[in-house]
Amino acid sequence: MPRRCCVPGCNSNYDSFLKTNKPVTTFSFPKDEERRKKWLLAIRRKNWMPSASSSVCAEHFNIKTQPYKGSDGMQQLLLNGPRLTDDAGPTIFKNLSFYLTKAETPCRTDSQDRRNNYVHQQEQQGEEFLKSDDITDFSDCVNRITNFITTSSGSC
């Protein structure tokens, strides 16, 4: 029998769930105290400590499947199931309100890259303005002045 998920409101691997679905992979709590505390904060169960058999199902993790390299570094092996990275933690809680669920935050770019992008964007806007403000010949100048006079005289 598969292990059941300890997240409040999650029915993964319970009898009612298994009647219509396949069992879901579960992960034991980490032995590292810092990671364990992070998991407990994310799960939000009051006055509860996980036992040795407590687990969290894969539905609460953002799991990216990737091939596993063998000990020789060359051979690619297929994993039987998903594996968590060392910094992974439960972040997806479908049965909780949206403000209690943490969405995965995108990685910020380097501050120098953001600054360079901003400068580039400002330069492009300046170039576009100068192109639109360019007077090509005398008739273009007359047309612009005529349009300006007709639009300003109507607004008074």
pLDDT given for residue 135 in this prediction? 80
pLDDT given for residue 108 in this prediction? 76
Strand partners, 26: 57
CA dihedral 30, 15, 43, 109 (to 10 degrees): 80
pLDDT given for residue 76 in this prediction? 57
CA distance 84 to 7: 17
Report the predicted TM-score, pTM, of the whole model to 2 decimal places. Answer: 0.51
pLDDT given for residue 93 in this prediction? 76
CA distance 43 to 52: 17
Using CA atoms, how far residue 93 sits from 21, 68, 103, in Å, is 19, 28, 10
CA distance 46 to 54: 15
CA distance 9 to 156: 67
pLDDT given for residue 24 in this prediction? 83
pLDDT given for residue 118 in this prediction? 92
pLDDT given for residue 42 in this prediction? 85
pLDDT given for residue 155 in this prediction? 54
CA distance 115 to 15: 55
pLDDT given for residue 103 in this prediction? 56
Q: What is the mean pLDDT of each run of 10 residues along the chain (156 residues)?
A: 79 79 85 88 84 86 64 59 76 65 66 90 89 82 87 65
